[in-house]
Structure 1
Amino acid sequence: MKTRPSVVIAASLLLFAACKNKNAGQGTARQPAFDVSGIDATVKPGDNFFLYANGKWMKAAKIPDDQSGWGSFYTLYQDNLKQLHTLLEEAGASGAEKGTTEQKVGDYYASGMDTLAIEKAGLKPIQPLLAKVDAVSDYKQFMNLVHEGYTTGNGDLMGFYVFADEKNSRMNIPVFTQTGLSLPEKDYYTKGDSASVAARNAMIRYASKLFVLAGQDTATAAKNAQAVLALETEIAKSHRSPVELRNPQLNYNKMAVSDLHKQQPNINWTGFFNTIGAKPDSVNVGQPDYFAALNNMLPGKPIELWKTKLKYDYLRNSAGLLPKSFRDASFAFKQTFSGQKVQEDRWKTIVNAADQEMGELLGQLYVKKHFTEDAKKRMDELVSNLQKAFAARIQKLDWMSDSTKQRANAKLNTFLKKIGYPEKWKNYDDVTIDRNSFYANGKALAVHGQKEMIGKIGKPVDRSEWMMSPPTVNAYYNPTNNEIVFPAGILQYPFFNPNADDAINYGGIGMVIGHEMTHGFDDQGSQYDAAGNLQNWWTKEDNERFKAKTAAVVKQYNGYTVFDSLHVKGELTLGENIADIGGLAIAWDAFQMTDQAKSKDKIDGFTPDQRFFLGFAQVWRLINRDETMRMRLNVDPHSPEMFRVNGPLANFDPFYTAFNVTEGDKLYIKPDQRARIW
């Protein structure tokens, strides 16, 4: 849920069954769908509402060996995988005509499942690429090969994409970002804690294994692995931290291509654009220090070291397309950060790959079968109600001036709302899918993606485009489009149930909608105007008051401890925390407009207000492996789920009333100290 692609939730996922009881349907046209059995009544709601709402479920829940966590997102994601699996199996067996959607997705899936063919091909598919690396004799030839990679789907060392110019949001511009690392972020290369040391050791083992599989002897492979780690450690010094990467102004550095080429001739920017066939006047260099360092390091490091690094990157980036030995090595490395015990079944891996690589082809089949117009209409209603509730909240703010309120409402009222699936589907006519070569299919789709992206340079932004596929269990806000996007994948139980009572839906998907809306007004989104431009629209006084309020949120979340005395990083998670706090409040206000909220009729022994908060808490019921949580605390802008529930509730007066929270309860915050922003 943030900048490009802004995602609402950390990609992690869990199961709880709907509890249908005698009261179902009484006093409401919609059927309740809520897990009463997961509540732990031994926990006081005012002490830890997350555990109160989910405690019994958490005690019984077990993380499957092939998962890094378990919970609401996971179970919905797994359900979607099964639905997509059926679609792909049917498409593969349909005998569809060449070039049709069914043929492409079906044959892609079949090629990925043909592990015998993949094993038989061995290293042959990637050998021509490795041979090109061997033929390089100096850093200039090396960069020519790097540039070529951005036309063949093998781009490296230059984080590159095409996106809206953040200060001219209707036009596309090339964007370049820091890259070049295997570990999650820069501090993993230098920190002396056991987890960071283990990560470096795992990287050495991984690189060594890849080099051995590529034909090097054990001693040479080990030496080369150490050399790659040393090079990446040097590269990491030029990287910005995850917190610094959250600053839109810091990461907007528009430069003329001609000036950039003069400043960094060793990268050969002119050669890069000639190779990809584009002629932009200017680009946005997100993190200039990285490219300045790369420019200096290119002639300063032995060419053999750069070649070794490039081979390593090619091998690890292609591991999923190569024989099992490569996939096993990749999994062993990733275990360091996930804690996952075993690999997923092959079919899950290939279904996920199909969604990632050709999501708007597979998505067409998915929405035709699994997304109803009734669900879309219900979502339209929810979004409209939350938009009205947010507008009303803005008008009541006691810390914002009337002039800034007018601009805030103008931004809110111009939200582009996308629900379910794109109105216009992407075109894959230039992609040929061969049932007999998974590697070739992967590279063909990569080339297609690069070609599609490069073709946008210098052209107007297509505001109808989506950054997630329809089956994705997620949502996002994109500040340059000023849009909120909800794929069909998340518009299902437990987040959204057209047959559930309003309290459950407003506490679930309603909060997600409010969360995404609030992202337009969090510490990052608030820097973009109604047209999506990175431009101040606040008075100086209002901006100072806003920053004071966000500082209080940072302080609150810095105080949350997970385990081993590791704390939530308040600055890293600030945007998501603001969105959680605001999303809850907006969803609550919208719920109060419903007949159920006004009725006060109990279901399952709970008032409508209580069910709203319980519904909210249960959609965030997740458990993570320790390894996953450690990495999340370092790089994930979302707080752990317990604090995504308890943090917003501790600041929200209606929660205190609904569950009689009083001074002395652990969640209690004095009224004048509660974070109240939107």
Structure 2
Amino acid sequence: MSRLPRRSLLSLTLSAALATGLAGCSPGTDGSADAPTTDSTTPAADTATTAPVLGSFGFDIAGMDREVPPGDDFYRYANGGWMESTQIPADRSSFNSFTRIVVDTEKNVRQIIEDAADDEAAQGPMRKVGDYYTAFMDEAGIEARGIAPLQPQLDEIAAIADKQALATELGSQLRADVDLLNATDYYTDRLFGLWVSQDLHQPDRNVPYLVQGGLGMPDRSFYLDDGRMAELRTAYQAHVAKMLELAGIDDAAAKAERIVALETAIAKVHATQEQTNNVEAGANAWTAADFAAKAPGMDWDAFLKAAGLGGQQDFIAWQPDAVAGISKLVASQPLDTWKEYLTFHAIDRAAATLPKAFGDQQFAFYGKTLNGTPQQRDRWKRAVSATNGALGEAVGQEYVERHVSAETRARAEAMVDNIVAAFGKRIDALEWMSDETKAQARAKVAGLTVALGYPDSWRDYGALEIKPDDALGNAQRASAFEYQRNLAKLGQPVNHDEWYMLPHTVNALNVPLENRLIFPAAILQPPFFDPNADDAVNYGAIGAVIGHEISHSFDNLGALFDKDGRLHNWWTPEDLERFEAAGDALAAQFSEYKAFDDLAVNGKLSLGENIADVAGLATAYDAYRLSLQGQPGETLEGFSPDQRFFLGFAQAWRGKYREAALRNAILTDVHAPGRFRAQTVRNLDAWYPAFEVTEGQALYLAPEDRVKVW
């Protein structure tokens, strides 16, 4: 039930302990949807075509700006025309290649959901899908009920009489709404977040990971920094007061001031994003008894019992100082302030299913003020997103039946095989790596498994109660259902078949703890993949995506895990030193990119993604050259095969942001903005002769300065 998705603080997130997603600005980062498009890109199971979606060979020539020398700004050369002609839709904070696919996918998903809602004979999970959507779309009913559906929770908070009861309430609110897998939603406004996953230290068992939370804004910097952040804090405090007023709560302004002061205190004890990205520092094994000893202040027995974890002995505390600091605040801050804080977050969290004024106010701050989005999404788009969040695999199963081509899946599987093989050859060819370390790296590649398209078995929603006239109750029950589904993993064998994305999600995922890659069906669409497009373009786009995800197993964080997903160092000291030196060079390269005069990319924060881009692009290039089987390849419309490969990569990363959203992304996103990711080409030797790039041009790097990680 999180309000608005945001970027993950973990580059390599917990696979069920740690996983890394592809998208830097994945669709819907502001909860928005829809964008102008004239061509349908969704592959259909019953539709066969031979023409590519884009241009005559799968590439948007009109979207280029050929007046820009590629050696000065390759991104602008590949995408300048598109940048000039494309407008960000009013209900979005950004628009990019991922968005382009999401637009059509969302329309198809809407049809599936509305068909279920309209089908009186629908049974099983699709009946629940239809009823969830119907309840969310029942604006008249929601208005008539007012805040009454939320009142029992508000009364429960008001009845808190002491700190033990507070701990019980906080524990009862713990949810698995921190998505540590997709690298798109590492965020919870609940005091703590929980994810159940296999143990970093003992991969044969599952443990609960406790992570920091409790903030209404995206990150500690929003509470502690000056300049724009100070203005946002003022706006946030006004938002808190307005939400309390809408709920009929007295003395809203004073309460809002105390709530924001409490959140500021929480922010001060939060780990930074760089600290959160440190897997070795995060892998803190705690027993149940450790919480009282290492994080005094909270009544942990009451908290864990209320959270359904009373019998659990082993945990991982991802940010131990934050856990301790927040626990101390539970003891030191006034009980009434905590009750005010819980009241506001209960209202804010429920806003989408309360009367229109609540949703409008929430968008006014999170959408317009925070992200610069002028217009709220249509109700049906919000309803589709909410239904997906609650019953996504039920929707996904129907999506696969209607829209996923077996031929497309088979061709993508063949490409994956080629790129995995090419990565293995790159390991063999590394001159700087010892045979000892190479043997371990080869073992990881040999054990790598790939899930493509959709899961082999689907989630059972039988225990989830959905009513066609209870929008808030449905959301609350769905959140509790997902939490219980995660708790049920405890004490059970580790399952390596779970999907952490929906088939209609436009993204990809590396799960290092399982040594596994996941590619949902929806990303197998143009501009990333078109079965009728030129191979060079496909290898440059989806091939680099596949290579990117493979490379995450060997980036600065993935390289910490062995073939079995165990966290331990399998490198010789000399090899690790060389690897880290290459990472430092890449971090420095990206830190030179400035989105604004006063704000540069954080090369260390985005290092894992940048390593994956460099290694993934190089691997995809090798795989493409191997696919030619020694033949030179033909020139198409004046573009050589190598040119088409690199242009396919650059056009996959086209994107536009509103200023506020771009500033937020640079501060909180582990991915660099797309225009800088496209400049990754400057590290590949083959790019230079392909575009006649020479010394003195802005992107030129001397051969010894080109970063080669794998």
TM (normalized to structure 1)?
Answer: 0.95
C-alpha distance in 1 between matches for 2:328 and 2:39: 59
Residue 566 (structure 1) aligned to one of 599, 605, 609: 599
After the TM superposition, which segments of 4 or more aligned residues of structure 1 sit over 6 Å from their partners?
14-19, 151-155
Q: Secondary structure at the match of 2:206?
A: strand
Q: Hey, what does 2:95 align to over in structure 1? A: 70
1:140 is matched with 164
Name the CA distance, whole Å, in 2 between partners of 1:503 and 1:180. 47
- Do residues 87 (structure 1) and 112 (structure 2) align? yes
Q: Quick one: distance in 2 between partners of 1:124 and 1:598?
A: 71
Q: Could you tell me which of 240, 244, 248 is aligned with 2:275?
A: 244
> Quick check: 1:447 aligned with 2:480?
yes
**Which amino acid counterpart does residue 137 of structure 1 have in structure 2?**
A
The match for 2:182 is none
Aligned pairs for 1:567-586 (under 5 A) are: 567-586=600-619
- Offset, 1:504: 1.1
Superposed displacement of residue 151, structure 1: 7.7
Displacement of 1:337 in angstroms is 2.6
Conserved? CA contact 1:147–1:155, under 8 Å: no
* Partner residue in 2 for 1:380: 413
Listed one character per residue, the Cα deviations across residues 356-414 of structure 1 (whole Å, up to 9, x for unaligned) are 22111100000111111111111110110000100001111111101101100110111
Task: Decide whether the 8 Å contact of 1:554 with 1:570 is kept in 2.
Answer: yes
What is aligned with 1:551?
A: 584
Asked if 2 retains the 8 angstrom alpha-carbon contact of 1:183 and 1:199, the reply is no
Kept in 2, the 8 Å contact 1:417–1:483? The answer is yes
The alpha-carbon deviation at position 266 of structure 1 amounts to: 3.5
Q: For the structure 1 residues 18 and 90, does the alpha-carbon distance in structure 2 shift closer, same or farther, using more than 3 Å as the test?
A: closer
Separation in structure 1 between the aligned mates of residue 709 and residue 584 of structure 2, nearest angstrom: 11
Asked whether the 8 Å contact 2:224–2:268 carries over to 1, the reply is: no
2:254 pairs with 1:223: yes
Is the 1:18–1:33 contact (alpha carbons within 8 Å) kept by the matching residues of 2?
no
Q: Name the CA shift for 1:155/1:149 in 2 (closer, same or farther; >3 Å).
A: farther
Match for 2:634 among 601, 604, 618? 601
Q: Distance in 1 between matches of 2:648 and 2:442?
A: 29
* Offset at residue 511 of structure 1 (A): 0.5
User: Structure 1's 155 and 641: CA in aligned 2 closer, same or farther, altered over 3 A?
Assistant: closer
Q: In 2, Cα distance between the equivalents of 1:604 and 1:122? A: 61
1:271–1:331 distance in 2 versus 1, CA, 3 Å: same
1:248-647 to 2 correspondences below 5 Å: 248-278=279-309, 279-334=311-366, 335-595=368-628, 598-646=631-679
1:50 corresponding residue in structure 2: 75
**Which amino acid is 1:6 matched to?**
T
Instruction: Report the Cα offset of residue 596 of structure 1.
Output: 8.6
SS in 2 for 1:169: coil
What is the aligned-residue identity percentage? 38
TM-score with structure 2 setting the length: 0.91
Instruction: State the alpha-carbon separation in 2 of the partners of residues 243 and 151 from structure 1.
Output: 24
Residue 113 (str. 1) matches residue 137 (str. 2): yes
One of 153, 176, 181 as aligned partner of 2:215: 181
Q: Report the CA distance between 1:96 and its aligned residue.
A: 2.7
1:384 and 1:236 map into 2 onto residues whose CA distance is 45
Quote the RMSD (CA, aligned, Å).
Answer: 2.0
**Alignment equivalent of 1:10, drawn from 6, 16, 24:** 24
Distance in 2 separating the partners of 1:665 and 1:565: 24
Cα shift at 1:267: 2.1
Question: 1-side partners of 2:95 and 2:630: how far apart?
Answer: 32
Report matched runs for 1:151-162 at 5 Å. Answer: 156-162=190-196
Q: Distance in 1 between matches of 2:272 and 2:108?
A: 39
Gaps of 5+ in 2: 1-10, 28-34, 41-48, 178-187
- AA in 2 matched with 1:275: A
Between the aligned partners of 1:168 and 1:337, the Cα distance in structure 2 is: 41
Question: How big is the shift at 1:576?
Answer: 0.5
Distance 2:307 2:270 in 1: 26
Cα deviation per residue 1:101-140 (whole Å; 9 max; x = unaligned)?
2211111111111111111111011111001111112211
Single out whichever of 568-577 and 294-303 deviates more from structure 2. Answer: 294-303
Structure 1 regions of 5+ residues with no counterpart? Answer: none
Q: Which amino acid aligns with 1:587?
A: A
Cα pair distance change 1:424/1:391, threshold 3 Å: same
Where 1:592 maps in the other structure, the secondary structure is helix
* In 2, Cα distance between equivalents of 1:434 and 1:15: 34
